[in-house]
Structure 1
Amino acid sequence: MKNYYNSHDVKRLLNLNSLRTAQLRVKTMNDDLKAMGYWVERGKVPIKFFHEKYPYVELPEKESKYLSSAI
């Protein structure tokens, strides 16, 4: 079961051309989490938080089945 997206996943999900742009998006989301008092995993963002920030991006099939059972 996967709990985090890395920058390669974010690049693929957002159809970005640059890995650096995906890394910056992950860093920004981690900065938001850190400001809310959470511990962050550098270079990774929790799947649930990613989809709160980008609700229009659909969950891949295998992640959606795990997240819906955890909610």
Structure 2
Amino acid sequence: MEKTYLRVQDVKEIIGVSESKAYKIIQALNKELKSKGYIVVAGKVPTKFFKEKYYC
């Protein structure tokens, strides 16, 4: 079963970046979601949205 949300460690492993960069990516994605009217969870990003934005 696929995770609904990705955490910092997940993003870090998927795209091979540092922990601080993973946090910045999650913040940027959540900022975009929030501007579209979605409720966001700090430190997590929806898997579906992440996959739309990053080619994995």
AA partner of residue 22 (structure 1) = A
Higher relative contact order (CA 8 A, sep 6+): 2
Rounded Cα–Cα distance in structure 1 between residues aligned with 2:8 and 2:33? 16
Aligned match of 1:39: 39
Q: Which runs of 5+ in 2 are unaligned?
A: none
Number of matched pairs: 55
* TM-score, normalised with respect to structure 1: 0.74
Q: In 1, distance between residues paired with 2:28 and 2:9?
A: 15
What is the aligned-residue identity percentage? 45
Give 1:41 shift. 0.6
Structure number with bigger Rg: 1
Q: What's the CA shift for 1:43? A: 0.4
TM-score (norm 2): 0.93
Q: Which portions of structure 1, spanning 4 or more consecutive aligned residues, are displaced by more than 4 angstroms?
A: none
Q: For 1:10 and 1:45, how far apart are their aligned partners in 2? A: 9
- Root-mean-square deviation over aligned CA pairs: 0.8
